[in-house]
Amino acid sequence: MLRLACVFALCAALSLAEAAGARAPAAATIRGRVNIPNPLSAALPRPGIADLGRDTNYQPAAPRRAVVYLETAPQPAFEEGVAGRATMKQEHETFVPHVLAIRAGTVVDFPNGDPFFHNVFSLSKPQPFDLGRYAKGRSKSVQFDEPGIVRVFCEIHSHMSAFILVFSHRFFAVTDDDGRYRIERVPAGTYTLTAWYEAVAQQSRPVTVPEQGGAVDVDFTLRDR
């Protein structure tokens, strides 16, 4: 009798657990492609009329990456996870990567890979900073606590610039070389999905992630504002 009661209790517990698991909605992936028909040209230095020669170190690269993110996120998203560390290098008089997307609280390292000084700074409200001049092989860091867009420059090389987008949640992605993006483990719900490019183009779409999870495809075509 006692054995039979234990079996019944075990079965009841298993049934309850299965029922609970069945009620939790499956997370989905939002993916797609951002098309940029008219990408910006690479930033070129100002005409060097005071220079005695041409700068040979600069390797201009046209910005191609966009950032896709949820305008709003489920409440738990703001409380989960721990911000880590990221890197934005200075190489050939450019910031690499040109666009960096991070969570609030992330520490970004700025190593200098060029054989001369750089002076990384920003005037942006979320995180103004000035790292001063430092040489090749050295690195300085900044912790970004406030969400927002941070524009990064070099005080010595005026053609150098980059963006750091700081989010208070984890639902964002930077596109790859083909313009593709993936945002993983998005809970079911209806959101506003935004694609952003170089502060010159932006587009928003409503997106619904179903209860059963899976993948949701959303493509963007960004043109200048």
Partner 1 sequence: MTFRTPSPRNTAARAGAVHARRTFALAAALALCGARMSAQAPVTVADGHLTLSGQASISVGSNDEGYFNYSSYQYSLLRLLRLDGTADLRVNDHLSVLGDLQALASVDHGNWLLRPYALFARIRPWADRPVDIQAGLVPPVFGVFSRRAYGANDPLVGYPLAYQYLTSLRGNALPATVSDLLAMRGRGWLTRYPIGDTRPQAGLPVVDGLRYQSGVELHVGSLQPFEAAASWTSGALSAPSREGGNAGQQFSGRFALRPAPGLILGVSGSRGTFLSSSLRDSAAVSDVGDQRAIGFDAEYSRGHYLVRSEGVYSNSRIPLAVPATRLALAAFGIDVEGRYRITPRLYAAARVDRLQFNDVAGPDGPTSWEYPVTRLQVGGGYLVARHTLVKVEWQRNQRDVTASDVYGGGAYGSQAASASYNKANLFSAQLVVWF
Spell out, one character per residue from 144 to 163, where the chain touches partner 1: x when CB under 8 A holds, - when not: -------x-x-x--xx-x--
Write down the least CB distance from residue 160 to partner 1, Å.
10
Single residue of 25, 87, 97, 121 touching partner 1 by CB under 8 A: 121
* Nearest CB to partner 1, comparing residues 107 and 200: 200
Single residue of 2, 56, 76, 79 touching partner 1 by CB under 8 A: 56
**β-pair partners for 164:** 100, 150
Write down the least CB distance from residue 65 to partner 1, Å.
17
Burial class from Cβ neighbours inside 10 Å (0-12, 13-18, 19+) for residue 172 reads: buried
Q: Which residues contact 26 (CB under 8 A, 6 or more apart)?
A: 188, 211, 212, 213, 214
* Nearest CB to partner 1, comparing residues 4 and 50: 50
23 touches partner 1 by CB under 8 A: no
Write down the least CB distance from residue 222 to partner 1, Å.
18
Contact region with partner 1 (CB under 8 A), list: 44-52, 66-74, 169-177, 207-215: 44-52
Single residue of 9, 14, 16, 55 touching partner 1 by CB under 8 A: 55
Single residue of 25, 39, 45, 97 touching partner 1 by CB under 8 A: 45
Instruction: Measure the CA–CA gap between 17 and 213, rounded to whole angstroms.
Output: 20
Long-range contacts of the stretch 184-190 (C-beta < 8 A, 24+): 184/27, 184/29, 185/27, 185/28, 185/29, 186/27, 186/28, 186/29, 186/30, 186/70, 186/216, 187/25, 187/27, 187/28, 187/74, 188/25, 188/26, 188/27, 188/28, 188/213, 189/74
Tokens standing for 141?
Answer: 């860091």
136 touches partner 1 by CB under 8 A: yes
* Nearest CB to partner 1, comparing residues 132 and 214: 132
Among residues 20, 65, 83, 77, which one has the least CA distance to residue 209? 77
225 touches partner 1 by CB under 8 A: no
Binding site for partner 1 (CB under 8 A): 41-57, 115-117, 121-123, 128-130, 132-136, 151, 153, 155, 158-159, 161
